[in-house]
Structure 1
Amino acid sequence: MLRRTLVRTGGLTGGGVLAGSLWRGAAYAAARGSAGPYGPLRAPDADGVALPEGFTSRIVARSGRRVGGVLWHPAPDGGACFPAGDGWIYVSNSEVPLLGGASAIRFGPGGEVVDAYRILSGTDLNRAGGRTPWDTWLSCEEIFRGRVFECDPHGSRAAMPRLAMGRFRHEAAACDPERQVVYLTEDEPDGCFYRFRPVHWGDLTSGTLEVLCAGSGAGPVTWRRVPDPGASLEPTREQVAGAGRFRGGAGCHYADGVCFFTTKGDNRVWAYDAGNECLRVVYDAGAPPAGADDIAGTLWGDLYVTVDGGDMEIDLITPDRVVTPFLRISGHPRSEITGPAFSPRGDRLYFSSRRGARGEAAGTDGVTYEVTGPFRR
């Protein structure tokens, strides 16, 4: 595993402790040789997935092959899980041009595949997104003047663009129900970090788009309104003087007063303390080719960060600052791990290898996995 660092610079608050129950303690902690709460990785299984003892993997979908009632899309990317009766649904974006969109797999109570179907079609390079507290999926276009689409994971209602959330190279979204805002990342070398304040919480059709402003990229921050979210004359990231700059905003996850987001250009995880309006770097995945990308969290407080390039891993960061690989995919050297998400009960982890073993840019060899085992809950 490449060098990983969990950064501590006095914490986000005056007391030296990062706000939120996800993290405890302060100071600087380097990646340890500890195998973490689940022990070391075993040898790869038949599908090339190395996991700790007690965990197993299976492939639930492959690009271009039928699953349920649909051909699974190429380049599977950002994803999330939703409750559905006595089962659950996993949704997945497709990062291909013009035909991107998103699909969903519905699982029964025992994990059996019950159905699969499209929930969004005809959109462009749907990279990541986020789940809302009212159980819809925000699918984000990673293109110039890209849009956010709000989708029904059951596929019963038509997906709708939410243009008030801005037109830019969208990556991920995370909802903060306490402050009633949606945080948004932007995949540009000099991208920004945004929040959208809807007029009515639960209705994303209208509201105010704001951009985070920070002098050095860390420490106290302020928010300023973006004058033209539609970017009709000027890109959103260039409209506000003093806007904070981030090297390729990627995954985004909110929990207990803290919004974590990754920047794949410098392989970091940032933490925005919403209550104190402060920003810090809390995790450094090391120099290229490592790349911190997508991020997911558990109710227990663990973070799962996908790391591409050198390793094809998902790293686990525990609340007591242990950083360790949770899984590794072998035989996919030109792919990326995408879409990590836990089932509603927290006992299954879903994710994809976007390009699969062949590593084709079109993503026609993409693979979507499920991991089961004794996750901490």
Structure 2
Amino acid sequence: MATPLNRRMFLRATAIAGGTTAFSGALWHQAFAGPAQPGPGPYGALLPADANGLQLPQGFRSRIVARSMQRVAGTRHTWHPAPDGGACFQDGDGWIYVSNSEVPLVGGVSAIRFGADGTVASAYRILNGTTLNCAGGATPWNTWLSCEEHDFGLVYETYPQGGKAAQSRPAMGRFKHEAAACDPDRKVVYLTEDQSDGCFYRFRPSTWGDLSSGTLEVLLGTGTGPVRWARVPNPRIWTTPTRDQVSGAMRFDGGEGCYYARGICYFTTKGDNRVWSYDAAAETLDLAYDDDLVTGGEAPLSGVDNITGTASGDLYIAEDGDNMEINLITPEGTVAPFLRVLGHDESEITGPAFSPDGKRLYFSSQRGESGFIGGTDGFTYEVTGPFRG
């Protein structure tokens, strides 16, 4: 089998040469009409690093809102190690940013409450005693689904405002959970699995808004194009992993972030650096980005991980490693760096999420400058500026 580098060189060379015989059907379409290609971003080039080590476009600025193992400024709460997936929630005239902790046994979730002017009002825990809480997803009823990333991992439904105990949701399956995204149109929750031969799932609650019971389904298919779903027989207690219970389940190389908007569920796979797009109405699968199919120079986006988006239709994809960027994919199909973190070479970017008004972007460098695997040097940032609506 060709190495990824050889495959990339082959695809690019064939595209440049116009060799149509190398592609057939859907792959030919993807190479030229589907996946995003490098180009100038809507905000222009990145400027030299600011005082926080972030390279940003003109008009944007950053601040550090939390450091792992240090108290959040103005509070008595110590920020957790290894900050990972996150989301923002409206809270009166302010908002709340929640963040997972991807460490064993004591992982859980913390939250920072911001006032209307962006000042930190408080910080606190909303989940304790869980393990390797990686990514997750927000629900339309304003809860945070925190996902455990291990073979028997659970989804925990947590309450960003605090004051209510988190609930495990075993009906959503026990597997190496990564991220979740809610589809209010079809009343399902999509789920990714961080395995090299993982699957893509959807959960159909018995009652929308109540995740205590329902049906877990797995995506079936052979590649891009039409796909279908089948019920997972034993999602809660199993001797055969969920990904191996249904014949014909489509395999994905390391499922990561997941984001739903306007009838499309976008999800990422780190093993092959792809951003997939699932058209929920048509039940078809396509590629929004594939670094092997970049033809206009070097692929700007690698190590794809967490993903979020904006009302304008822009997608923001965080990198696990590579050169520590958040890249932007526009609705027109252009991919370009939006920001870069310098000096955190052994870390990864996690938890990108926009404030409810779309004017502030939050994210973390999970292992910070030290790169320590325990994540005790994690940084959580806020970026403000002229984001397009």
Distance 1:229 1:348, change over 3 A: same
The structure 1 residue matched to 2:213, chosen from 206, 223, 240, is: 206
Contact residue 94 and residue 113 of structure 2 kept, 8 A:
yes
The structure 1 residue matched to 2:331, chosen from 298, 302, 319, is: 319
Q: Which amino acid aligns with 1:121?
A: N
Name the SS of the counterpart of 2:33 in structure 1.
Answer: coil
**1:19-34 mapped onto 2 (5 Å cutoff):** 27=33, 31-34=37-40
For residues 300 and 30 of structure 1, what CA distance do their matches in structure 2 show?
16
Q: Determine the structure 2 residue equivalent to 1:23.
A: none
Distance 1:30 1:83, change over 3 A: closer
Q: Determine the structure 2 residue equivalent to 1:146.
A: 153
Show structure 1 runs of 5+ residues with no match: 19-25
Name the SS of the counterpart of 2:153 in structure 1.
Answer: coil
2:372 is the alignment partner of 1:376: no
Q: Which amino acid aligns with 1:147?
A: L
2:275 is the alignment partner of 1:283: no
1:29 to partner: Cα distance: 6.2
For residues 30 and 164 of structure 1, what CA distance do their matches in structure 2 show?
36
2:58 is the alignment partner of 1:49: no
2:91 is the alignment partner of 1:79: no
Contact residue 288 and residue 309 of structure 1 kept, 8 A:
no
1:290 to partner: Cα distance: 2.8
The structure 2 residue matched to 1:297, chosen from 309, 326, 338, is: 309
Q: Which amino acid aligns with 2:137?
A: G
Q: Determine the structure 1 residue equivalent to 2:275.
A: 269
The structure 2 residue matched to 1:110, chosen from 117, 120, 125, is: 117
Aligned positions, number: 360
Q: Determine the structure 1 residue equivalent to 2:238.
A: 232
Name the SS of the counterpart of 1:145 in structure 2.
Answer: coil
1:232 to partner: Cα distance: 2.3
Distance 1:10 1:107, change over 3 A: farther
For residues 28 and 127 of structure 1, what CA distance do their matches in structure 2 show?
29
The structure 1 residue matched to 2:261, chosen from 244, 255, 265, is: 255
With normalisation by structure 1, the TM-score equals 0.92
**1:210-225 mapped onto 2 (5 Å cutoff):** 210-214=217-221, 216-225=222-231
1:311 to partner: Cα distance: 1.1
Q: Which amino acid aligns with 1:61?
A: A
Contact residue 285 and residue 292 of structure 1 kept, 8 A:
no
Higher helix share: 2
For residues 233 and 40 of structure 1, what CA distance do their matches in structure 2 show?
52
1:288 to partner: Cα distance: 12
Contact residue 217 and residue 245 of structure 1 kept, 8 A:
no
The structure 1 residue matched to 2:101, chosen from 94, 104, 118, is: 94
Contact residue 218 and residue 230 of structure 2 kept, 8 A:
yes
Q: Which amino acid aligns with 2:196?
A: P
For residues 105 and 25 of structure 2, what CA distance do their matches in structure 1 show?
43
Distance 1:155 1:30, change over 3 A: closer
Q: Percent identity, aligned pairs only? A: 65
Q: Determine the structure 1 residue equivalent to 2:363.
A: 351
Distance 1:11 1:70, change over 3 A: farther
1:217 to partner: Cα distance: 2.3
Q: Which amino acid aligns with 2:309?
A: G
The structure 1 residue matched to 2:65, chosen from 60, 73, 83, is: 60
| Stretches (4+) displaced over 6 A | 9-12
Bigger Rg over Cα: 2
Name the SS of the counterpart of 2:59 in structure 1.
Answer: coil
Distance 1:28 1:173, change over 3 A: closer
1:351 to partner: Cα distance: 0.2
